[in-house]
């Protein structure tokens, strides 16, 4: 399959590019498109064969359900069996935006989308390209991040092509995404809602709207408490092994360098310069850090380095989503 790439103006999406993408969706094809978080790999959520193609293109296990993207709260409610008060309040305040809610599903949603589960994850994205695709097609779009399963999420069209060139029909290239990290996934089927995946919407923002949120701790997770199925095990990983370090990473970097290895260092504040060492220092502001995180990991993951060392940001709630992704990226090495 040949993958077509079309440039698209993120602020004012060009009509022709949108029309091409919509016609691919209508015919059961796959398109990658920018959202305000990361690039998504979309198909018509009502077309079972098209949704199955998403799983094939990504190499995604069929037990890992997909997020359905819609453009209105009414469209979201048609996919749900129940719409709790907390859903109403959260969507009112945070949609369009990087919050995905999990609700009990209606019969309208094919089982392949939800991995045969009884709930469905839904969000209204705020990116103009994503919204235009939704409004022009009139379809709900099932879309995971546009990367091979367990790999790094894409924040640029080039990242999508690195993983999926030849496996999908179209990439809409709208440049770098603004958020850089995935949406927050929140189970609202009971109260207080439970955080399944930390993301760009913080627990504090959720608390301000609905009063309370359950944030599973690292200990609860290791005891196997319910999580979003896609959060099990290694995920969001570059090909190069990642080593996460709490506090000062200098001794670890020095140790690896003296063992003769080439090192990429995702630093936080402090730096050390040396041959065989590539350093990227990210901001100490969580929002700015999130924006640059995947692009930096993609950059260090070009194949020339033996290890990527990451200085973990502090273990505070502000950094929950960033630390979650970094720790998962380092699992299994």
Q: Return the number of the residue (41 or 267) whose C-beta is nearest ligand TXA.
A: 41
Task: Give the residues lining the site for ligand TXA (CB under 6 A).
Answer: 35, 37-38, 40, 64-67, 98, 100, 102, 114, 117, 119-121, 143-145, 182-183, 185, 196-197, 228-231
For the bound state, the minimum distance from the C-beta of residue 117 to ligand TXA, rounded and expressed in Å, comes to 5
189 is a contact residue toward Mg ion (CB under 5 A): no
CB 329 within 8 A of CB 181: no
User: How near is the Cβ of 332 to ligand TXA at its closest, in Å?
Assistant: 17
The smaller minimum CB distance to ligand TXA, of residues 58 and 307, is found at 58
Which of ligand TXA, Mg ion, none does residue 159 bind to, with CB < 5 to 8 Å depending on kind?
A: none
Q: How far is the CB of 274 from ligand TXA (least distance, A)?
A: 36
Question: Which residue lies nearer to ligand TXA by CB, 26 or 64?
Answer: 64
* Contacted by 66, from ligand TXA, Mg ion, none: CB < 5 to 8 Å by type: ligand TXA
- Is-cis flag, bond preceding 96, omega within 30? yes
CB 181, min distance to ligand TXA, A: 8
Least CB distance to ligand TXA at residue 333 (A)? 21
- Residue whose Cβ sits closest to ligand TXA: 230
For residue 131, the number of C-alpha atoms closer than 13 Å in the C-beta half-sphere is 16
Give the chain as a 3 state SS string.
CCCEEEECCCCCCCHHHHHHHHHHHHCCCCEEEECCCCEEEEEECCCHHHHHHHHHHHCCCCCCCCEEECCCHHHHHHHECCCCHHHHHHHHHHCCCCEEEEEEECCCCCCCCCCCCCEEEEECCCCHHHHHHHHHHCCCEECCECCCCCECCCCCHHHHHHHHCCCCCEEEECCCCCCCCCCEEEECCCCCCEEEECCCCCHHHHHHHHCCCECCCHHHHHCCCCCCHHHCCCCCECCCCEEEECCCCHHHHHHHHHCCCCEEEEEECCCCCCCCEEEEEECCCHHHHHHHHHHHHHHHCCCCCCEEEEECCCCCHHHHHHHHHHHHHCCCC
Q: Is the CB of 114 or the CB of 137 nearer to ligand TXA? A: 114
Beta carbon nearer to ligand TXA, 157 or 253: 157
Work out how close the CB of 145 gets to Mg ion at its nearest, in angstroms, rounded to a whole number: 3
**Could you tell me the smallest distance in angstroms from the CB atom of residue 265 to Mg ion?**
25
- Binding segment (CB under 5 A) for Mg ion, from list 51-59, 75-83, 108-116, 144-152: 144-152
* Residue placing its CB nearer to ligand TXA in the complex, 84 or 144: 144
Interface segment toward Mg ion; rule CB under 5 A; list 14-22, 142-150, 282-290, 310-318: 142-150
Maximum Cα–Cα distance across the chain? 60
Regarding 145 and contact with Mg ion (CB under 5 A), the answer is yes
Q: Which tokens hold the place of 215?
A: 């944030």
Query: Is residue 237 within the footprint of Mg ion (CB under 5 A)?
Result: no
Residue closer to Mg ion by CB (options 86, 145) is 145
- Classify strands 31-34 and 39-44 as parallel, antiparallel or unpaired: antiparallel
Nearer to ligand TXA, 38 or 249 (CB): 38
228 binds, among ligand TXA, Mg ion, none (CB under 5 to 8 A by kind): ligand TXA
Q: Which residues bind Mg ion (CB under 5 A)?
A: 145
């Amino acid at each position: 399959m040949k993958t077509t790439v079309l440039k698209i103006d993120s602020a004012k999406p060009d009509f022709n590019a949108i029309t091409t993408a919509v016609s691919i969706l209508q015919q059961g094809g796959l398109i990658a498109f920018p959202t305000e978080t990361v690039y998504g790999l979309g198909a018509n959520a009502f077309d079972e064969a098209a949704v199955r193609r998403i799983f094939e293109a990504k190499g995604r296990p069929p037990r890992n359900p997909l997020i359905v993207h819609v453009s209105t709260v009414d469209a979201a409610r048609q996919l749900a069996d129940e719409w709790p008060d907390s859903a109403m309040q959260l969507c009112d305040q945070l949609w369009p935006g990087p919050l995905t809610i999990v609700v009990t599903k209606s019969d309208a949603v094919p089982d392949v989308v939800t991995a045969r589960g009884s709930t469905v994850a839904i969000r209204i994205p705020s990116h103009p390209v994503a919204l235009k695709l939704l409004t022009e097609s009139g379809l709900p779009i099932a879309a995971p991040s546009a990367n091979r399963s367990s790999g790094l999420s894409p924040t640029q069209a080039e990242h999508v092509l690195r993983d999926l060139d030849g496996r999908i029909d179209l990439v809409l290239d709208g440049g770098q995404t603004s958020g850089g990290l995935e949406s927050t996934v929140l189970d609202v089927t009971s109260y207080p809602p439970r955080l399944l995946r930390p993301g760009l919407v913080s627990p504090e923002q959720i608390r301000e709207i609905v009063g309370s949120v359950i944030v599973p701790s690292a200990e609860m997770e290791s005891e196997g408490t319910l999580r979003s199925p896609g959060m099990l095990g290694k995920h969001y990983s570059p090909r190069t092994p990642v080593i996460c370090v709490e506090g000062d990473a200098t001794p670890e970097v020095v140790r690896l360098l003296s063992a003769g290895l080439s090192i990429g260092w995702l630093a936080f504040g402090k730096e050390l310069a040396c041959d065989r060492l590539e350093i990227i220092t990210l901001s100490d502001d969580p929002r700015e850090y999130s924006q640059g995180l995947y692009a930096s990991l993609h950059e260090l993951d070009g194949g020339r380095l033996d290890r990527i060392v990451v200085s973990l940001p502090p273990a505070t709630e502000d950094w929950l989503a960033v630390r979650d992704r970094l720790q998962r990226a380092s699992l299994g090495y």
